[in-house]
Homo-oligomer: A and B are copies of this chain.
Amino acid sequence: MPVIDLNADLGESFGRWTLGDDAALIQVISSANIACGFHAGDPSTLRRSCELAAGSGVAIGAQVAYRDLAGFGRRFIDAAPDELRDDVLYQIGALDGFARAAGSRVTYLKPHGALYHAVVRNEGQAKAVVDAVRSYDPTLAVLGQPGSLLLKHAAAVGLRSVPEAFADRQYTADGGLLSRSEPGAVLTDPARIAEQVRRLMVEQTVIADDGTEVPVVAESICVHGDTPGAVAIARTVREAITGSGGGVQAFTNPPA
């Protein structure tokens, strides 16, 4: 039976402000990218998120970000590599404390927002993130964009690199994503999404916007949960996997 991971962001509330339907989403996914306090996530939210993931057998990943609460980590910050490495290490450690208190542990890292995009091409920052992971625990995996410098550097130093794909985004012929500013960039038809998921899992390909079949190797599919519609799509993705005889399974092994 072919298996694949489903990952989503979790724990992006902060203090009085809530965001996302974590309780619904945890039923769908196998890996939870939990915010660590720098772009979202106060300590009590970290605790609750780790307990939710641990209680559901979902793997816990550190969703690390720039220190930018006001910007939700969505603004590039030209942080020096050493600073960034330390910011990332701080976040992993903080989250792992709650993961362990909940009987689990952090098993991977995924960068959030502007950092996710920066480490595709920014060598200094990509290496900084990898350095943080390696100095914390070299058995952690790194989840990110296929072909990114982040995954390349992670693999180069012996970390497990895990590329992800998107169930509801239109791919282009070069294996990239059609820009969100283009019509049709985001898929909304459940049948179309289900077909893309099936193809990703079984054939490791997608159909690009020009109709060509393009190889996309992914060990995880990213879904969202910050709107009711997003959770419905996430369920569609999960059903597409199980309905085609596949299984949803984390790419790391969280403690039982």
Decide: B96 and A89 in contact? CB cutoff 8 A: no
Partner of A44, one of B86, B91, B96, B135: B86
Docked Cα-Cα span, A47 to B136, in Å, equals 12
- Interface residues in A67-124 by Cβ distance below 8 A to B read 67-72, 74-80, 82-83, 86-87, 89-98, 100-101, 114
Pick the contact of A70 from B14, B76, B98 — CB < 8 Å?
A: B14
List B contacts of A61 (CB < 8 A): none
Q: Which of B14, B44, B91, B98 contacts A83 (CB 8 A)?
A: B44
Determine the residue in chain B with the shortest Cβ distance to A79: B75
Chain B residues contacting A71 (CB-CB under 8 Å) are 15, 77, 79, 83
Q: What residue in chain B is nearest A86 (Cβ atoms)?
A: B43
Q: Are B94 and A15 in contact (CB under 8 A)?
A: no
How many positions in chain A have a CB within 8 Å of any CB in the partner chain? Answer: 47
A135 B101 Cβ-Cβ under 8 A: yes
User: A90 near B15 (CB under 8 angstroms)?
Assistant: no
Q: With an 8 A cutoff between CB atoms, is A46 at the interface?
A: yes
**A180 within 8 Å of B by Cβ?**
no
Chain A residues within CB distance 8 Å of chain B? 12-19, 37, 40, 42-44, 46-47, 67-72, 74-80, 82-83, 86-87, 89-98, 100-101, 114, 135-136
Q: List 28 A-B contacts (CB under 8 A).
A: A16-B19, A16-B72, A17-B17, A17-B19, A42-B70, A43-B86, A44-B82, A67-B70, A68-B77, A69-B69, A71-B77, A71-B79, A75-B78, A75-B79, A75-B80, A76-B78, A77-B77, A86-B98, A89-B97, A89-B98, A90-B94, A91-B94, A92-B97, A93-B95, A93-B96, A93-B98, A96-B97, A100-B136
